[in-house]
């Protein structure tokens, strides 16, 4: 685990993602990648590489009890890490119908809006999101926002 934490910090340093004084908010869905990110940021905060401002989660109201369980899990994880948790709710199916977009697009828009609202309220510098190499949509969005091809 120590090697992974060092690699994440080296990547963050190289890419200018955050610095020691930054307050980082971790976006956590409850999946393995975002939970790992939360733990890594917790360890980096303990080593004074950044401050973990808390966890942020959006309940999309798509998956019923499974989504309720995800929100409860993220809340328990934040408690275990000793950081605040910010769980928001969005009726993504209704948003998708209103905007005439897919559930994925409506969910992404709702997540980004919630993350930004919480980032401001928590006075966080950045919101860290985790994704796997197979999460192509997120990879493309990240590259577009950073100006890379």
Residues whose CB falls within 8 Å of the CB of residue 101, separated by 6 or more in sequence, listed in order: 109
Find the mean pLDDT for residues 58-81: 95
User: Distance (Å, rounded) from C-alpha 67 to C-alpha 65?
Assistant: 5
User: Distance (Å, rounded) from C-alpha 8 to C-alpha 40?
Assistant: 8
**Contact by Cβ (8 Å): 24, 41:** yes
User: Distance (Å, rounded) from C-alpha 59 to C-alpha 92?
Assistant: 9
Residue pLDDT, tens place only, 65-75: 999 999 999 99
Residue pLDDT, tens place only, 116-147: 999 999 999 999 998 766 555 555 555 555 55
User: Distance (Å, rounded) from C-alpha 54 to C-alpha 93?
Assistant: 27
Find the mean pLDDT for residues 33-51: 93
User: Distance (Å, rounded) from C-alpha 88 to C-alpha 91?
Assistant: 10
User: Distance (Å, rounded) from C-alpha 106 to C-alpha 94?
Assistant: 9
Q: Which uninterrupted H or E stretch holds 39? A: helix 32-46
Residue 59 — φ and ψ, nearest 5°?
-85, 115
Find the mean pLDDT for residues 58-84: 95
- The chain-wide mean pLDDT, for the chain, equals 89
Output the CA angle 31-36-38, nearest 5 degrees. 100
């Amino acid at each position: 685990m120590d090697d992974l934490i060092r690699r994440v910090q080296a990547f963050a340093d190289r890419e200018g993602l955050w610095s020691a004084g930054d307050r980082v908010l971790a976006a956590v869905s409850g999946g393995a990648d975002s939970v790992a990110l939360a733990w890594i940021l917790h360890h980096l905060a303990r080593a004074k590489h950044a401050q973990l401002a808390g966890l942020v989660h959006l309940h999309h109201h798509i998956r019923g009890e499974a989504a309720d369980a995800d929100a409860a899990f993220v809340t328990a994880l934040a408690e275990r890490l000793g950081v605040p948790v910010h769980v928001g709710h969005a009726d993504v199916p209704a948003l998708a119908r209103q905007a005439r977009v897919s559930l994925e697009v409506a969910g992404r828009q709702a997540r980004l809006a919630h993350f930004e609202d919480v980032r401001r309220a928590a006075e966080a510098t950045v919101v860290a999101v985790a994704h796997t190499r197979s999460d192509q949509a997120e990879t493309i969005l990240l590259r577009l926002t950073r100006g890379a091809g």
